[in-house]
Structure 1
Amino acid sequence: MSRKSLTINPHAAQPTSLLALGASLWRHRQLIAQMTRREVVGRYKGSALGLTWSFFNPVFMLVVYTFVFSEIFNARWDGLGANASKTQFAMVLFVGMIVLGLFNELVNRAPALILGNVNYVKKVVFPLEILPVIALCASCFHSLISLAVLLVAFGLFNGYVPWTAVFIPLILLPLCVLTLGLAWILASLGVFLRDVGQFVTIITTVLTFLSPVFYPVTAVPERFRDVIMANPLTFIIEQARGALIAGKIPDWPGLACYTVIAGICAWLGYVWFQKTRKGFADVL
């Protein structure tokens, strides 16, 4: 293929329909898989342990957080009982960390996705809309590793794994869709407003402490509980804990409603990205 055939008009209007999005993702599925693999492997390139760090990182943070909250702050989790072991506390904490990590990793990276791939904007035919999808797939890979660590640990310490754990992909899927929509918006804004990355870091830090990761929702004073429940992470964290720890069936009507809202947000994010991408070349 000649160089001329690879050039594009960066100011050309881009399709915004859901059909066009689905067609693009399917058409570029192999490219998405290849770039996701490259990104995951590249993160640990040159390190002695390589991908093994994807196991060690969540385990290390789990140990630190569990020590701080169970030993120093003497935190207790409602529903586990007064005699609950530190291991049980760690399991509950870990579920929240997995959900939070999936969200935060992609959202924090999103503002720099286009800035870090300037050549794709001007010089070659490249579907820019798949960059957030690739970042999401990489985040999901690390979340799956953390989930595997959790399930193995749960089975070792409790002698069984709740069968409801099979529902965890359906529980996390709406969050992935919502986060992808936010990533499209933030990736676009990051091109025009370079301060977006700093602002997003502050927001995700605030969300970390406004999400029921280190405490149960029941521990929040009644007058502030509505704020916690309005957090889009709260519902997913609670559903994930129910399926992975308590063996509860997910709240299907709630998940269905969440999925519809997440789908609308994702489509709006995609539309925003496609409408604004024609200005990327002028700024970059």
Structure 2
Amino acid sequence: MQMTRREVVGRYKGSVLGLAWSFFNPLFMLVVYTFVFSVVFKSRWGVSQDEGKTQFAIILFVGMIVHGLLAEVLNRAPTLIISNVNYVKKVVFPIEVLPVVTMGAALFHSMVSLVVLLSAFALFNGYLNWTIVFVPVILFPFVIFTLALAWILASLGVFLRDVGQAISIVTMVMLFLSPVFYPMSSVPESLRPWIMANPLTFIIGQTREVVIWGHMPDWLGLGVYMLGAVAVASAGYAWFQKTRKGFADVL
């Protein structure tokens, strides 16, 4: 918790607005993406005939929050060990917690973005769906899965420095190959299995169900996702612990 707090505060240390940037950053990106896709490209979700730009923006923002959580953790993961050499060489320290610290910081920013989302939804609609209480339940298996990938990437980043360059491309590809900017109905039938294979797709869809439309989560789907996430996390943690023995030699 102390390291997570330092990670969050240290990012904005010395800036005039401080932690307020954690609020303005997602808000600014929301405005830009909304302008490009709803005004320039005139994209629509097709949920209603009188769909406005605000509704488009709110639905879009849900996808941005989920992807932002994944991207922030994975983009940082390959350099976590490299940028904390002292923890590896000179201090008896459980370095497996470094990805957890990054996840904690990413969750903080996601929670700020979620507050922005819910505030906007309440402002434009005059109510909040009670099903928003299920958001943590939906995000929990996603957090476990993302943490599993972070352990793997943190280890690979020590031995293969190209991983840090490649992962930013991968996260960007995952952004556009998930229903962040478009509904699944607009994807050709032949390509939908590929979009559904993206681990972001199911979580984005479920988050929209409980936040935007007030529906109950897909409990069976979440259960399957959780089992898969735990399996990947177990393998990722085991891989990290097995390869950490060589960190000091490489660094």
| Same fold, TM-score > 0.5, yes or no | yes
| 1:73 is aligned to 2:68 | no
Match of 1:46 among 14, 24, 27: 14
Name the counterpart of 2:229. 262
Consecutive unaligned residues in structure 2, runs of 5 or more = none
Selected match of 2:5 from 26, 30, 37: 37
Match of 1:153 among 112, 120, 136: 120
1:237 equivalent to 2:200? Answer: no
The residue aligned with 2:92 is 125
Q: Which runs of 5+ in 1 are unaligned?
A: 1-32
Tell me the CA shift for residue 205 of structure 1: 1.1
Q: Matches of 2:46 and 2:186 in 1, distance apart?
A: 8
What's 1:56 paired with?
24
- Which amino acid in 1 is paired with 2:57? A
Which of 113, 116, 119 matches 2:80? 113
Is residue 2:184 matched to residue 1:217? yes
What is the CA-CA distance between 1:159 and the residue it aligns to? 0.6
Across the aligned residues of Structure 1 and Structure 2, the Cα RMSD in angstroms comes to 0.5
d(CA) in 1 for partners of 2:225 and 2:21? Answer: 33
Classify the secondary structure of the residue corresponding to 2:182: coil
Contact 1:110 1:187 in 2 (8 A): yes
Instruction: Give the TM-score, by structure 1 length.
Output: 0.88
Cα deviation, residue 241, structure 1: 0.4
1:202 Cα offset (Å): 1.1
| Amino-acid identity (%) | 67
**In 1, Cα distance between equivalents of 2:195 and 2:152:** 24
- Which structure exhibits the higher relative contact order, with contacts defined as CA atoms closer than 8 Å and separated by 6 or more residues? 1
Report what 1:103 is aligned to.
70
Please give the secondary structure, in 1, of the residue aligned with 2:212: helix
Matched, 1:173 2:140: yes
Q: Per-residue deviation at 1:100? A: 0.3
How far off its partner does 1:82 sit? 2.4
Q: TM-score, normalised by structure 2?
A: 0.99
In the TM superposition, residue 156 of structure 1 has moved relative to its aligned partner by 1.0
Name the larger-Rg structure: 1
- 2:244 corresponds to 1:273: no
1:202 counterpart (169, 183, 187): 169
Specify the code of the residue in structure 2 equivalent to 1:239: Q
Count the aligned residue pairs. 251
Moved >2 Å (runs of 4+): none
